[in-house]
Structure formats: structure tokens, C-alpha cells
Amino acid sequence: MGKSWTSSELRILKNQYSAKGAKYVAKRTGHPVPSVVAKANSLGIHSGTIKRWNQFEVNYLLKNFNNKPVDSIARSLKRNQTSVLNKARLLNLLIPKPPKWSEEELALLQKLWTDKKFSIDEVAAKLNKTRAATHFRAWKMGLKRPEVWRFWTQEQIQYLRKNYKKKTYREIAEHLGMSTISVFHKARRIGLRLREAPRPWTQAEDEFIRQNYRKIPSREIAQKLNRGLDAIINRAGPLGISKKRVK
């Protein structure tokens, strides 16, 4: 438990906190900074030294919070980590930790994961978890899917070659008693790839590229147009803007 505040320390707090901040009062009174802030809040005293967030700082935080460490963001903005975390919390950038797996869920996962009758998606649905969370937990437990490790027979490969253009991978997987992803990977390994006709470019898309290429990142253009990054770069050439520089 922290030490009590004396009348002289309270006088320093009331007279100096608003003007000089918590660190100054902490140094004068010997109380830690969190204790100074808590005491000031309880007395309704607010510091005038609080640095307000401007729009540039908010935009920087929104752009980098999920890509950079908190201490790096704090150094760039010349703020402390607590300030960065508090602002991130107000902007709903903090993702809550997923709930822990119960013993019953772990037991059910172990039972279903090794049963070839259930696909990964079905296992995830029965556990009310995402596919990624289910797959990661199974990996952490050292569980292996049985169909991943068995060899394909010539009959199964023949069936895949015969039907990969007529049926979906899911239908083939159900017929063979395998997972869809197993069938997909096997098809790729033996050179069976279904290529969809490329989506034609619209005038609006071309104009958007002309207006924004080299002004904003190509990856951002790709996201806005729902295209691949390579598609944007390759499209810039025929539009005559691949070497254009913005003055």
C-alpha cells in the first residue's frame, strides 16, 4: 500500500499539477507518477500539460498500430507507450484475446481432427471456432489429419483427372473421403489447374489507375479495385503510365 499524502504534499499537488504535470509533482513529493495521477483525479484536478492528439497522429496510429511495435510508434510520435495504448483503445484498435479452449473442446477437437469423416471446416463448425483457430490449436496439440499422410492410389488419381473439370473439389473430396484442401493440393501437384477467364478492365478502372498510379501505393489501388498487385502493375504499361513521374 502506498504512503499517505501529507498536507504539504497535497498543497504541492493542488498548486503545481495543472501547470507542471504529474512528473514534476512526483519528483517534489516522492510519490510515483501513477499515484500522483490517481490522487489528482480523485480531487478533480486536471493537468494542463496533457498533449492533445492531432489528426496526423491519429492517422499514423490507425495506419501503423497493427504493423509496428507500440514502443516504435511511441518514439515516432514522441509520446509514451501508455498514451499510445490508451488512444488505440479509444479507437477500438485493441483486439481482445480469444477465449481459452476448455477441456471439453480440446477433447472434442482431438476426437474429430483424426476422423476422416469430418473436414476441417466441419470440425471448426462443431467447435464454434474459426478454421484458422481450429487448425492452429490442432497443430499445437501435434494432431495430424489422416488423409494428409496417406498415399493416393492410381484409381483415386484417375478419378481426379477424369472429374476435376466436371465436379467441384468438394464433390471429388466427398467421393474419395478426403478433405477439399487435400484434393486441391493433389490437383496442383499433378498439373491440374483450373484457370478462370480474366475479368475485363473497365473504363472506370483504367481512369482510376491513371489518376492514382504513383500517387498512392499500388497495393492500395489493387485493394480498391479488387485486383491483384501484379495486375495493376501490368495494366499500367498498356495505359502508358508505368514510367510516368509525378512532379
Q: What is the pLDDT of residues 8-64, one digit of tens each?
A: 988 988 888 777 778 888 889 988 888 888 888 788 777 655 677 888 888 898 888
Number of alpha carbons in the 13 Å side-chain half-sphere of residue 145: 21
Q: Global pTM?
A: 0.31
Which 8-state DSSP code applies to residue 54?
P
* Cα separations in angstroms, 107 against 8, 132, 166, 179: 62, 18, 39, 21
Q: What is the pLDDT, as a whole number, of residue 107?
A: 93
Q: What is the pLDDT, as a whole number, of residue 153?
A: 85
- Report the C-alpha dihedral over residues 208, 214, 215, 219, rounded to 10 degrees: 70
Segment 217-224 shows an average pLDDT of 87
Q: What is the pLDDT, as a whole number, of residue 89?
A: 83
| Model confidence pLDDT, tens digit, residues 114-154 | 887 777 888 888 998 888 888 888 888 888 876 554 568 88
Instruction: Please give the radius of gyration of the chain, using alpha carbons only, rounded to the nearest integer.
Output: 30
Three-class SS state of 240: coil
- Can you give the residue ranges of every domain in the chain? 7-42, 55-90, 103-145, 151-189, 196-247
Could you tell me if 187 and 169 are in contact, meaning their C-beta atoms sit under 8 angstroms apart? Answer: yes
CATH number for 196-247 (one of 1.10.3120, 1.20.1550, 3.40.50, 1.10.10): it is 1.10.10
Whether residue 108 is predicted with pLDDT greater than 90 in this model: the reply is: yes
Residue closest to 16 by CA, chosen among 44, 45, 38, 43: 45
102 pLDDT tier (thresholds 50, 70, 90): very high
Could you tell me if 114 and 125 are in contact, meaning their C-beta atoms sit under 8 angstroms apart? Answer: no
